[in-house]
């Protein structure tokens, strides 16, 4: 896997974080996926790493996990270890004092490629297209 190629990232502006998160969840559900969890990792303070790592300065950070039970079952049936990558997720975040909101995801075909399974890759392609479609619908 290569980060620059396998992580899709899209930037949004001119909308509140709350509205884009609600729209993201709605677009996922419209495609017959079940939201399994939304992790709220909001940061209320800028944190400084004292030079050890880059400073952490995000205001909002959510991880939206979702799955389609039929697709999940198919993926697991193709290889029982496939569950280590499920459910799939979008990360949505916004830095302090910035308007831009970033939504990103790991391409399902990237992790499907690790298993060298045509069946798994076929399912991952459909899932990946749905994820691209969700991002396209958010672009208003």
Q: What's the rounded Cα separation, in Å, for the pair 79 and 119?
A: 10
Task: Say how many domains are in the chain.
Answer: 1
Q: What is the pLDDT of residue 54?
A: 60
> If you average pLDDT over residues 91-112, what whole number do you get?
93
Q: What is the pLDDT of residue 116?
A: 87
79-84's contacts with Cβ under 8 Å and 24+ in sequence apart are: 79/115, 79/117, 79/120, 81/115, 82/115, 82/120
User: Where in the sequence is the domain holding 116, given as residue range(s)?
Assistant: 3-138
Identify the band that residue 44 occupies on the pLDDT scale cut at 50, 70 and 90.
low
Q: What is the CATH number of the domain that holds 19?
A: 3.30.310.70
| pLDDT tens by residue, 53-80 | 566 678 899 999 999 988 888 888 888 9
């Amino acid at each position: 896997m290569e980060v620059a190629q396998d992580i899709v990232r899209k930037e949004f502006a001119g909308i509140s974080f709350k509205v884009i998160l609600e729209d993201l969840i709605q677009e996922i559900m419209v495609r017959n996926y079940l939201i399994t969890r939304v992790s709220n990792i909001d940061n209320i303070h800028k944190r400084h790493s004292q030079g050890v790592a880059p400073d952490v300065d995000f205001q909002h950070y959510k991880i939206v996990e979702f799955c389609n039970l039929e697709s999940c079952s198919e993926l697991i049936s193709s290889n029982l270890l496939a569950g280590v990558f499920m459910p799939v997720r979008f990360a949505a975040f916004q830095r302090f004092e910035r308007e831009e909101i970033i939504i990103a995801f790991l391409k399902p075909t990237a992790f499907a490629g690790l298993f060298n399974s045509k069946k798994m890759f076929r399912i991952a392609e459909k899932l990946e297209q749905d994820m691209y479609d969700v991002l396209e619908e958010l672009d208003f």
